[in-house]
Chain A
């Protein structure tokens, strides 16, 4: 299996080359094109987990369904995010897992285990998702992003607006917090909730905020 990010800065996609018998998994509906030698099948939840797993995943902002690609003989699949921007990519080596923020899981290798993790009360305040998707194992993890993706090395503490968070290493601790000053200040500044990371680890952030973009466009479109 070989993965490659293709396309210009604003519109990256992921190309996955599969050898005979190799597999890959993505969120349903992400496929751009594929070779005629590849079979795709839609299942609820990666491999197992059943309907409950699917429900949890839905709460996490992820699509209910996954596409499983299997190569009969060598071929390729191209996957793309929904909005303009980069593709987030991490090669997991088993050292630590990653938490994917609501809606950011896009695809992964067959040896990556993904499971929704209920974040309890602190998750409820984020307004983003109640559930993060935890990815662990060895292989590629691909993330959907809006805008440019950058990696920040946290050593101490670091604050990220919930709408700009893509994923973070599970070695980090976090609290749902306020953007400096008081809760009132933070709320009035339009930065309702932020995530404050502490410890050591990597955080992947996106330059643009889907929620902000959606809030500009939504009212100008016909009612649903």
Chain B
């Protein structure tokens, strides 16, 4: 499998060159172009119930297409719905948590499950569930805007909920207000997530909420 990440950070997308028998799981609607020797099969990643839970609560598509090549050197391009950066993560047994909408594609061996964020997540504006990717394999994620990786290394960071792409589960997080009650209600940030501990977090430099509230002024 030959993989090329193109267009980062403005219009990140992925181009695969697949040989016979090689396959990738792709978020529904993400395929843009492909050669004839690729077949598509619909699968629900992680079994039926978790897939349903993902669809209902994490906003991620219930179904993914399994794009498998039947002959050598077949081209497949995929792109996210929102323009931004696309990143690759090699999973080697250590789990990674993604916010809904950040999952784009993965290979065999990656298991996706829905994790309940607890009651605190209900108020985060990001939905009650997150996606946990485990196993070994390749994972491709997308963002709106550029992706900024921060290694917290014991420090704390406050993040607007719309700017979180993913994080390592070794980090702790909590939901809090933005300063006093006045700021929490009127700062436009609402509730924010506070991360602490040791591990990496991925942030995005734009948020869908920010885009839609800007666009609302021109509707």
Contact = CB atoms under 8 A, between A and B. Distances in A.
A147 B34 contact: no
Interface string B194-219: 00000000000000110110011001
A207 interface: yes
Name A's interface SS: mixed
B31 A188 contact: no
Contact of A207 (B6, B26, B36, B212): B6
Contact of A152 (B33, B42, B81): B33
A221 B82 contact: no
B51 interface: no
B40 interface: yes
Interface string A197-224: 0000000010111001101110011101
B41 A156 contact: no
Interface in B27-50: 27-36, 38-42
B113 interface: no
A23 interface: no
Contacts of B102: none
A159 B35 contact: yes
Contacts of B30: 190
B101 to A, nearest CB: 8
Given A160-B33, A179-B40, A189-B40, A217 B215 contact: yes
Given A147-B7, A148-B11, A189-B65, A209 B83 contact: no
A181 interface: yes
B31 to A, nearest CB: 5
A205 B30 CA distance: 14
A152 B76 CA distance: 12
Contact of B32 (A85, A186, A205): A205
A157 interface: yes
A170 interface: no
Interface in A146-165: 146-148, 152, 156-161, 163-164
A217 B11 contact: no
Residue with the highest number of chain B CB atoms closer than 10 Å, among A163, A181, A221: A181
Nearest to B212: A220
A222 B218 CA distance: 11
B50 to A, nearest CB: 18
Interface in B81-140: 81-83
Given A148-B11, A216-B208, A220-B208, A179 B63 contact: no
A221 B209 CA distance: 10
B13 interface: yes
User: How big is chain A's contact interface, by range?
Assistant: 35 or more
B10 A191 contact: no
A158 B34 CA distance: 6
Given A191-B40, A207-B7, A216-B82, A164 B28 contact: no
B79 interface: yes
B126 to A, nearest CB: 14
Contacts of A220: 208-209, 212
A168 to B, nearest CB: 12
A189 B63 contact: yes
A158 B33 contact: yes
Nearest to A149: B11
A120 interface: no
B61 interface: yes
A212 B42 CA distance: 19
25 contacts: A9-B11, A147-B83, A148-B7, A180-B38, A180-B40, A188-B65, A189-B31, A189-B65, A191-B28, A191-B40, A196-B36, A205-B32, A205-B33, A207-B11, A207-B77, A208-B13, A208-B83, A209-B32, A212-B29, A213-B82, A216-B81, A217-B215, A220-B212, A221-B219, A222-B216
Interface of B: 6-7, 10-11, 13, 26-36, 38-42, 61, 63-65, 67, 77, 79-83, 208-209, 211-212, 215-216, 219
Given A9-B10, A159-B34, A221-B215, 6 more contacts: A160-B33, A180-B67, A186-B40, A188-B65, A190-B28, A213-B81
Q: Which 3 A-B pairs have the closest CB atoms?
A: A190-B28, A190-B29, A189-B65
